[in-house]
Structure 1
Amino acid sequence: MSDRAPTTSTVAIDHCVLPVASLAVARERYEALGFTVAPDALHPFGTGNACIFFADGTYLEPLAVCDRTAYRDALSDQNSFILRDKSFRQTQGNEGFSALALKTDDARADHERFLLSGNSAGAPVEFARPLKGPDGSTGEARFRLAFSAPAGTGGFCFTCQRLHRSAMGGGTSSRHGNGVSGLLSVSVKVGDLETAQIYFSKLACVPAIGTETGAVVRFRNCAVHLEQDPAMPDSDEIRFDAVTFSCADPGKLRQILTRSNIVWQERNGAIHIPTAPGQGATFIFKENDHEA
């Protein structure tokens, strides 16, 4: 048996949280990019989403403030998710990439671990929200979240435990016209590379690996690339910057982008799409057999 530490984690990425000013604008943007977008869903604390689910079990969560009264009440109640969302919108704007969620079977244990590491970002949150399937069927999903962050502002992470999900007919489509099947990697701008490496290594339970531009931490299903940003000197803050997707048919994607008048560039065999209203992160598309 090897004494070397593993370099690929058993911890998996669950989803990316992408704040938007409007779910309607986000839906229009994602559909123009060739994604299938799930029906809008509302949270009890005032936010709502219009998710994009992938065959690999990950998803994107465009997130908007939909009920300002419930949102204000959640702030008054010190809801950790809403406190971080509010902080992000105040400092970074209403469009961006605020958080990375990890899969877990025990968010309570994760919270205790975050407290011990000094990276807790608030009390756990448990909630239920209604579900609506493409066939019109309804149900309920219940979640428990535990929060972590290396700094008081900027990006954050949380673990997401699914406590219950009603069975529904129709299912949510994870098939997309642009050929995307899942996430390959997430890119993060950091102020202090060493601090960021330690932080993400603790989340993934594997060491970071140095690269020419920074470091990479390999979660079970997705790589997290860390790049030092000269504009963030001596800062523990993290800023999620880009998402790279696995794409089966770049040719089909190019046709969709051209038809939708989407601005894009091709660099090193990958298609790069800059941020736009409804899309708060740079999107990069690589063929399925490319390394993250």
Structure 2
Amino acid sequence: MLQTTDALADHAAWLDQGVSGGNVLDFGRSFTRPDGSAGEVAFRLAFAALPDAQAALFACQIVKALPGGRGALTAHPNGAVAVRKVLAVADEPSKAASMLAPLLATKASGSEAAAELALANGTLAILPPTRASAACGHDVKPGALRWLGLVLEVTDLAIVAGILDGASIDYIKTEAGICVTPAEGQGATLIFSAAL
């Protein structure tokens, strides 16, 4: 998912590039705060179907934001302060990055060992299966481009380990940090990495 300020423009660009994944989707929902007052949030999504990939892409525009900001929603007991990277895996990272770069209006850098694309609020890293396996602590199969997980920047890895231990959630310590592999039926690997 990409953050955008204009999902309609993204949809038009992806139509022009021949990768539109369907119609724009507008949706919203009402909610009630603990104090009884009501509110509403609304979003607009544009979709891209990536060629030669086992992954899809969408951009999300906040049409009507949560009143009062998102501060309470972004604070987490694990100390996460940012999504440092979105991880993807592909047999040919530089080829995958070259395909994604124009869709994301950015430039790709790197090699077959790994490729990166700079995004407005983070980095998309594309790893070959061997490097992805080392980073994630589990076997990552070869194949076409697909999403792998997130690298979350945290203030203290010991706090994360304590929370995971307390919740009986299995994890592995890898070169990248603390890795939580996907549970059955889930697809995202979470890597908790110390803040830079």
In structure 2, C-alpha distance between the alignment counterparts of 1:137 and 1:171, rounded to whole Å:
18
2:94·2:115 contact (CA, 8 Å) conserved in 1?
Answer: no
Q: What residue ranges of structure 1 are gaps of 5+ in the alignment?
A: 1-100
Q: Does 1:231 align with 2:131?
A: no
Tell me if the contact between 2:21 and 2:47 (Cα under 8 Å) persists in the aligned partners.
yes
- If the length of structure 1 is used for normalisation, what is the TM-score? 0.56
- The reply to whether residue 173 of structure 1 matches residue 73 of structure 2 is yes
Show CA shifts across 1:202-228 (max 9, x none).
133222111462311121221111134
Counterpart of 1:154 (choices 48, 54, 59) is: 54
Report if aligned partners of 2:90, 2:142 keep a CA contact under 8 Å in 1.
no
**How much has 1:188 moved relative to structure 2?**
0.9
Could you tell me which residue of structure 1 aligns to residue 64 of structure 2? Answer: 164
Higher strand share: 2
Q: Which residue in 2 is equivalent to 1:209?
A: 109
Distance 1:110 1:170 in 2: 24
| Partner of residue 253, structure 1 | 160
Structure number with the bigger relative contact order (C-alpha 8 A, sep ≥ 6) is: 1
| CA positional deviation for 1:278 | 7.1
Match in the other structure for 2:188: 281
CA contact (8 A) 2:150 2:189 kept: yes
Structure-1 separation of matches of 2:11 and 2:56: 14
Alignment check: 8 A CA contact 2:20 2:48 kept: yes
* Residue-by-residue CA offset, 1:35-65 (whole Å, 9 max, x unaligned): xxxxxxxxxxxxxxxxxxxxxxxxxxxxxxx
1:123 aligns with 2:30: no
Pairs within 5 Å for 1:1-292: 101-133=1-33, 135-151=35-51, 154-165=54-65, 167=67, 172-190=72-90, 193-211=93-111, 213-229=113-129, 231-232=142-143, 235=144, 238-268=145-175, 270-277=177-184, 279-289=186-196
Equivalent-residue separation in structure 2 for 1:170 and 1:104 (angstroms): 17
C-alpha spacing 1:124/1:170, structure 2 compared with 1 (3 Å): closer
TM-score, normalised relative to structure 2: 0.81
| Amino acid aligned to 2:10 | D
Q: 1:133 to 1:209 in 2, by over 3 A?
A: farther
| Cα distance, 1:134–1:171 mapped onto 2, change above 3 Å | farther
Residues 81-121 of structure 1 show CA distances to partners (whole Å, capped at 9, x for unaligned) of xxxxxxxxxxxxxxxxxxxx212222111111101111111
Identity among equivalent positions (%) equals 30
* Number of equivalenced pairs: 185
